[in-house]
Structure formats: C-alpha cells, structure tokens
Structure 1
C-alpha cells in the first residue's frame, strides 16, 4: 500500500532534522499513523501501520532510518554544504562571506595589523594617518606629537608657567625677558625704565609747564636757574638785556698750518669787537695759486721750420704750481716755411708731465696752426693749413702740466 504524499514529506523532514541535531539527542518525538517507517526497526516489535501516534527517541529514528552521525567542524570553520547521506561539509570562512560591512571595512580586515590600511587595535600604533580628529585624545606629547611649531615653541610649552623660558599668558607676568618690543605697549611706569640720566626719570613724571618738567620744542622754558644760549637766535620782548660772560683768559685769532697767510688782530676776551684781517698769498697746496701778482717770465723757444727761417719777437710763460701757461710771437724771416707737410718746432719753458695741445694763427697769410705736446718733452710740434710765406706773422699759445 502506497503512503500518502504528506506522509512521505513528513519522513523527509524528520530525516533532515535528525541530520542537523546531535547524535545523542535525548528528546522524543511522536509519529502520526502511517509515516511509512518499519515499526520493527523503530521499537523492535510489530507496530501497526495505522492507529494512534507512538513516542520514539531521535536515536531510535536515526538508527532505524540509517542516518549518519552529524559532522563536527573546527571552531574556526563554517558549515558550507550538505553532502550525500545528510553529511555537512566545513570550510574556512573568508571576509567576502561576511555581509553588512561598511565601505572599506572588508579591505581593512584583509590587511595585517600594523600595516598601512589595517584596523587599529586597542593600544596599538596609529601609524601615519592621512587625517584624524584628536578632540577627545589625551596624552599627546608636545616634543614629538605636535608639528608646525616655531623654533623653541615646543620647549617653551613644556615649561611651567611663571618659570624662565615658559610662554607669557594674557595678563600674566612677563618675568625678566632678555629682549622685548614695546611698540604698542601702554601703562609702562617711568620707574620701570632703566638707563635714564640723573634726574631724567623725575622730570618725566612732572607735568609739562610745571617747575622741574622737561622743556618741549617751541614750549615755554619757564624761569630756569641757568641756561646756555650759545646757539640761540631771535629776540623776545621779555628778554632782559645783559652782558656776555668775559673770558677768563684772552684769546687771539690765528691760522693753523703752512698757508702762506698771516692773521692780524688783537687778543680778545669777549668784552669788545675785533676786526681780524688776513695778509699774504694762499699757497697752491691749500687751494690758492701761490701767485703774488708778478709778471710773466721770458724764455727762449728757438723756433725752426723747413725751407725758411724764423725770428722770435716774444716768448713768455707763467707757472702756477704745476700748471704752465706760455705764448710766443714769431715772424718768417725767409721763406716760405713748408709747414703743411713738414713741421714748425720750438722749445717749451720746462718738461711736460702729460700730453697737451696748442693752437695759433698767421695774421698775415691767414693760416690756421695746430700744435701737439707729448709727455716728458720740451718741444712743441706744429703744422699749418697753408705754408707760411715770408713776412708771415705767427702768434701761438697753450698750457700744459709740468713735471
């Protein structure tokens, strides 16, 4: 006789439950009539196929239905499959088997602790996080835990307030700083300023305009017990006329150094006016010419030219220090003088220090004459725009530095 369909399904359900429950489960279940199990294998004797329910244990059912004992997995493994005969398989779980993790949590679980990107364990190292909030953090060391501080700031923060080297707080004591800028400071007492001269601190504490106070620019001087007006200027209606203090020892006006000048006058002591005068010639070394007004000196130029002869009408010079002025006046006695391709030459009063030049003119023939003076020379060399004819009248002048 074929069992009803619901009875076959009941048998399968019982088989699955026995596979999932412990092998030695002590509980009992009640089988309804017609479950399709051999009664003999369940209780060991004949059991009618129909009738009331019968109480049996899980062990009796497992043995009667030939169900294997359930497999036990290690503590770090999971059941992952149901093999043939109702045996469960075991496997090591992976992070990907876990659902419900937040973004990045699965990746972090796969990184070794202590490596970048891993979870941080209680009491473990933070590493170098890209960002973090330390609102509730404690125990952060100033010397190594805070970056970006200025030079010596970390050292100052580790010193007790009020001790040398510690930060100065708002309205706190400044201690004795080695240096400080008080550009915008207020309330500094005069007594707190050092380095003032005798009486200066006391004067600064007196109201301006009162006796003993400093005198301001363009302010009233009051009635000083004494005052020196060496560089004072101007007059005042209230100024009382008086006499200048007489010098204890009379002095004379003189000129220091070798100037060539002599001061004339009388000794004075401040009681009378004096009218000093200077006489003499100021020497060149002190900016003068050294010239006392004497006339120019004559000298012999000995002029020559190619093709003719020259006559010296006048040759004179004047020396002021190392500066020599000269001039000559010549006449062509016989000629013409070939001075366009050849040269007109004559001597100087002294030897030159540096090069120079001179110029002149023939006031008869109209020729322009140009001359050159070389360093360490006593000769002038000239050329003219046209040859100098007989009876030509030549006038030349120049200046040079002598040795």
Structure 2
C-alpha cells in the first residue's frame, strides 16, 4: 500500500517510464504540497512533463528547472496566478528566457536560486528575469560567472536579507569593472560570497551594506576590510573557509569589535596571541567573542597558545575578565585526522570545561558540519 508522505518530490529526468511513475505518484499524493524538479535537457519530453505537472501547480511549493528557449513561453502563462503555495524556485538559466510574469502573483515566494550559464552564441539576459517579483524576495542565491548580475538584481530587490554568491570563472567570461553599478542595500544582513579571489575582491568594492551582521568568505581580504569600513556595519559572525593570511585576518578582526562568532582555519600562532585577553590592557581584540570554531590541519605545537588564549577568555578560578569583555562560551576544534593529545593538554581542556566553557572535538574538514564526526573530550 502507498502511504503519502507530507511532501512529494517529483524528479522528472525524461523518458516514458519516468512520466508514468510521476503520474502514479501524483495520483496518490492527495492534496499534499509538491516539490518539483524537472530536467528540460531532453527536449522531446518537455511538453509531456509540463502537461503532467501543470494541472497540479496549485500545490507547487518548490520548483527547480532549466530556463531556456526549449520551454515554450505559453507554459508559464498557464501557471500565472495559480501558485499560492510556491516558496522557493531554483532556475538554471541558459541564454535568453522569459517567465511571462508567471511568478508575479506567487504571494509566498521568498527564495530564488539561480545558476546562470552563458551560451557560446549569447549571454544570459536578466532583463526578462525582471518578471520575478523581486520586491518580495528575502533570500537570493546566485551561481554565476558574472557577479555584476547580483547588483542588477539587488537594485530591484529591496527586501533581500540573505545573499549567497558563488562563481566558476571557467564557465564563461567575467565582466569588466565598467559593468558594475555600486549598490547601497540597507536590509541585507547576511552575505556568503566565494569563488575567484579577484572577482570577490572586485565585487566587494561595489556594495555598501549597513545592516550586515553575518559574513562568510573564502579568505580574509582587503576587499572585506573596505566593505566593513565603508558600510559601518557591526558584524556578529565571521566565517573564513580557507587559511587566511595573518595580517589581512587581524586587520579584519580589528574592524569587528561586536563579533560574537568566529570560524577560521588555523593560520599562525600569532593569531592566538592577538586574541588573548590581557588584564593590564584596555585595548582588546574581539571583546564580545562568545563562540570560536577553529580548524587545525594537524596537531600543532601552538595548541598550547590556543589553550592559553581560551583560558584568558574563560576567567578561571573566578578571576574577573577585563572591563568590557565577555566570556568565551563555546569552542569547536576540528582536526583533519584523529590525534592523541598530551595529558597536560587534555587536563587544561578539561579544566576549561569545568569552568563552564563547552569544548567540542570534531574530526574532518567537511564544509558541512553535519558530515563531521563528534569526538568526546
């Protein structure tokens, strides 16, 4: 017996068998919300796939597909005004495309994800993507060879709270600086930007984000320092995905006195020294730091420097912290491989735990914490 799940995900990859299977699923799914993923690369099946799915568009909650000339424009006319549940769309954009204002009356649509791929003969047109109701979108993800596309969208999307930008320059050409328009976006609070370092640094010169609180990037760079300085924002969390240079990282941290969470790959023991709180000083780096996520590629002799820094922020034996500083509450230590730590190191770490600091050991450097293995202390 078939028991319908809370959601039904249809993955149509072309072919008669897939169409028949999808038809069976749809007939048994009652009125449950649907997550649709359709591959339009097999053009012979596009018409049949859409003919099957369109009668159920009132139930679409998520839609993933390719936008290209292979999809007839009248297809989108059919769903116009009939997408009451749609929350998220993911489009692969190939060349010129037209949504025919199909999404303009999707009242719950908040998240748009775009993979923009240029064709040899023409570049993608984002003008017709203006048919997306950008004024109501709060979460935007763009994977593109051309970061200037983001600013052209942001000019029409005043409510974007989270922007995720990734790039693969090998997919096509990159725009010259003359193609960029400077954007001041007063709502965006989270920026995740990775890809070619030159492209990232260049793009950061063309945005001002006064409300920015959360920043994730591959390396600390002068572009990030310029962004924070120009925006006069108060970063609460900073995630650096690859080993940064010491000086660029320290310069960036000096601009973030309100920072509460820091995630970084080990770079040099001097960073630990800079983060150590000195009770005789009135100038402290990251006085509000509460959580630290540190990736260690090997068991380094500087683990002692790290523990000394953590001890200075834990206030052991009831010693008060320097004025204006808060306790470091949680530390994640990631090791590339399992390691046996010296007894003295384990003792000091246990003492930090007894003093109220949560110390967690993790094995593995997967970018997704869900794939890392928790190791007890």
Output the TM-score relative to the length of structure 2: 0.18
Report which of the two structures shows the higher radius of gyration computed on alpha carbons: 1
Q: TM-score scaled to structure 1, two decimals? A: 0.17
